[in-house]
Amino acid sequence: MLISEYYDILGVPLKSSLEEIKKAYRKKARMYHPDVNQSPDAKDKFIRVTEAYDFLMANHEKGDLSDQEFFRIMEEWRKYRQHRSQQRAQYYARKSFDSFKNSKYYRSTRILDTSSAIFTLVVSVTVLVFTIFGYILRLRDPIPGTEKTTIFSFIVLLLISLILVSVSVFSLRSTIKANKKFRRRK
């Protein structure tokens, strides 16, 4: 199988980012998991999607290789990892979708996690603090003729930073709530 076929299986273009590959895998895994999809070929499609995801995650940075290098990597993949990937997919295909969704393997595809939500909150609070600090400095050392512009700029930046903080807090709250819900299920 060619690398382009793995991208096609996931429905993403060549040179897709890791986030796009993870997002596509989550969508296709839900679509083809035998617990959700009752068609007779759902299990095979689920196994192919998982194999494509495993291959692309293992070889994502190797996209610009010569044909000879690519075929060497493919042969290595077939020898050592393809069978393991198919076994893992078959194992998850036998489980219910809910237990698969809560598995460490599926959760590793999450784009937004707690650390990125915390980072976003820190950045948004920093923007808010610098907005207020900058306005205070501008009041202490005014530039003649820019009083109205300074107030307008401050209000706009303050609104933007408050929106950022609100979105960040909401994002962090929902991430923490999802993590608590997952821990309760265990």
Over residues 16-25, the pLDDT tens digits come to 888 888 889 8
On whether the CB atoms of residues 73 and 65 are closer than 8 A, the answer is yes
How high is the pLDDT of residue 177?
80
Residues with Cβ within 8 Å of 165's Cβ and at least 6 positions away in sequence, in order, are 121, 124, 125, 128
Average per-residue pLDDT for the chain: 80
How high is the pLDDT of residue 104?
72
On whether the CB atoms of residues 81 and 56 are closer than 8 A, the answer is no
Q: Decide yes or no: CATH 1.10.150.120 for domain 3-107.
A: no
Global pTM value: 0.50
Token pair in block for residue 133: 């600090």
The answer, yes or no, to whether residue 29 has pLDDT greater than 90, is no
Q: Which of 61-65, 72-76, 134-138, 175-179 has the lowest mean pLDDT?
A: 61-65
Can you tell me the distance from the alpha carbon of 83 to that of 77, in angstroms, rounded to the nearest whole number? 9
107 vs 93, residue with greater confidence: 93
pLDDT in tens, 169-185: 998 888 788 777 656 65
Token pair in block for residue 5: 């076929």
Can you tell me the distance from the alpha carbon of 150 to that of 155, in angstroms, rounded to the nearest whole number? 9
Can you tell me the distance from the alpha carbon of 32 to that of 39, in angstroms, rounded to the nearest whole number? 9
Domain ranges of the chain: 3-107, 114-185
Can you tell me the distance from the alpha carbon of 49 to that of 32, in angstroms, rounded to the nearest whole number? 8
The answer, yes or no, to whether residue 162 has pLDDT greater than 90, is yes
